Amino acid sequence: MPILKDKNILLGVTAGIAAYKTANLVRLFIKAGANIKVVMTPASKDFITPLTLSTLSKNPVYSSFTDKEDDNAVWNNHVELGLWADLFIIAPATANTLSKMVNGASDNLLLATYLSAKCPVYFAPAMDLDMYKHPSTKESFKKLLEFGNIMIPATSGELASGLVGEGRMAEPEDIVEFIEKDILKKLPLRGKKVLITAGPTYEAIDPVRFVGNHSSGKMGFEIANAAANLGAEVILVTGPTHQKLEHTLIAIKPVTSAQEMYDEVHKHYTDCDVAILSAAVADYRPQEIAKNKIKKKDTTFTIQLEKTKDILKSLGEQKQNQFLVGFALETNNEVENAVGKLESKNLDLIVLNSLQDKGAGFGGSTNKVTFITKSKSIIEHQLKSKTEVAQDLLQLILKSIDA
């Protein structure tokens, strides 16, 4: 699951025997695509070496407020560390560290960083049975949860003392799974189904040739990725493209022609909450498709074309509770034409591209768009990456469906 991909994760390691498990925890975070930095309490270095965690995380390990370089002291800025992190995981979290977190003590770098962190903080308790059951420890758990921290429950098992019971730190695989599920259930599109179209369509002339366009599909794929990262279940219906995307919440449905896209979209439209049609669907197709390759004979060649079915209009006619988004690529009278399309196809939002704008349109990694809402509000954006455009679009949709 790519929920942790590109996340900045700060791992805090305290002085418990379970610290040895953090080597595997770092590897799992790296495997999930996260960026890892480690901050250790000085005493935790008795249980696992900074060299091990530095090698696995591919970053320096921090354990004191200053590092000595030659004769100069280099300050390890706890504020910068706290602000860098998207997630802060303290594992193992000992009774001593938990108590200090509750009381605002900052006698080591890890605790000072905790007090500076603006991101979600997870803690995975690890201690012996009697320590885990002690009223002061239970009070620490209660206070930390009231502060908004998130507890990864300890499990029962054999402990370092030889006792068997509660207090064993969750296994690294379970910690990663817990964090991913916790993030996922809080995502704003969790439980929503989003239907997206992308890419061109190819309309066959003969078994070799086709009528098509220059759409790369990149915009649609970025929208699909952005929607899935917000927790949506995504159906991505795509024409021929070289774009690749792997996400457990995205089901890719490849098609070739406009008719195939029409059929596939209508299979899923009834059940979706949001439909975003960014594909560049052919408006016309050859009336007849030659069974064999057409030989080059005459100096001119005429193909009789007929209209394809208007997918977007058909969805607008059938719309019930879906939020329907269309795209308009224009070369003149851009806003006027886009508003006309918005009204005639019963859309809730239209995304206007102009081929007059440098960096916009097919093929590239950037786009310059204008959003036009059902109430005719016009929201212009500067040239941005298609990744950013996708995020802007999803945020506007979220505001609209929550309104």
Confidence of residue 69 (pLDDT cuts 50, 70, 90): low
What does the buried/exposed string (b/e) look like for 336-351 if buried means 16 or more CB atoms within 10 Å of the residue's CB?
Answer: ebbbebbeebbbbbbb
Tokens 């064993």 — which residue? 168
What does the pLDDT read at residue 5? Answer: 86
Confidence of residue 261 (pLDDT cuts 50, 70, 90): very high
Burial of 37 (0-12, 13-18, 19+ CB in 10 A): buried
pLDDT tens figures, 237-246? 999 999 999 8
Asked if the model's pLDDT at residue 70 lies above 60, the reply is no
Specify the DSSP class assigned to residue 65: S
- Give Cβ neighbours of residue 49 (< 8 Å, ≥ 6 apart): none
What does the pLDDT read at residue 66? Answer: 81
What does the pLDDT read at residue 72? Answer: 65
Closest CA to 278 of 335, 311, 326: 326
What does the pLDDT read at residue 385? Answer: 93
What does the pLDDT read at residue 68? Answer: 65
What does the pLDDT read at residue 364? Answer: 76
Burial of 14 (0-12, 13-18, 19+ CB in 10 A): buried
Active site residues: 213
Strands 8-13 and 87-93: parallel
Specify the DSSP class assigned to residue 56: H
Q: What is the percent of the chain with per-residue pLDDT over 90, rounded to a whole number? A: 80
pLDDT tens figures, 146-201? 999 999 999 988 777 777 778 889 999 999 999 999 998 899 999 999 999 999 99
Q: What is the mean predicted confidence (pLDDT) over 70-87?
A: 83
pLDDT tens figures, 206-230? 999 999 998 999 999 999 999 999 9
**pTM here?**
0.79
Q: What is the mean predicted confidence (pLDDT) over 385-400?
A: 95
Alpha carbons 180 and 250: distance in angstroms, whole number: 16
What does the pLDDT read at residue 45? Answer: 96
Sketch the domain layout of the chain as residue ranges. Answer: 2-185, 193-402
Q: How many CB atoms lie within 10 A of CB 118?
A: 11
Q: For domain 2-185, is the CATH number 3.40.50.1950?
A: yes
What does the buried/exposed string (b/e) look like for 352-366 if buried means 16 or more CB atoms within 10 Å of the residue's CB?
Answer: bbbeebeebbbeeeb
Domains 2-185 and 193-402 share a fold: yes
CATH topology of domain 193-402: Rossmann fold (3.40.50)
Q: Between these two residues, 69 and 163, which has the higher pLDDT value?
A: 163
pLDDT tens figures, 272-300? 999 999 999 999 999 999 999 988 887 88
Q: What is the mean predicted confidence (pLDDT) over 118-145?
A: 95
What does the pLDDT read at residue 403? Answer: 62
Strand order in the sheet with 274-277: 250-254, 233-238, 193-198, 274-277, 323-330, 349-354, 369-373, 378-380
Alpha helices (H) along 156-303: 172-185, 218-229, 258-268
What does the pLDDT read at residue 67? Answer: 76
pLDDT tens figures, 331-365? 788 899 999 999 999 999 999 987 776 766 666 78
Closest CA to 285 of 197, 204, 207: 204
Lowest average pLDDT, out of 135-144, 164-173, 225-234, 302-311, goes to 164-173
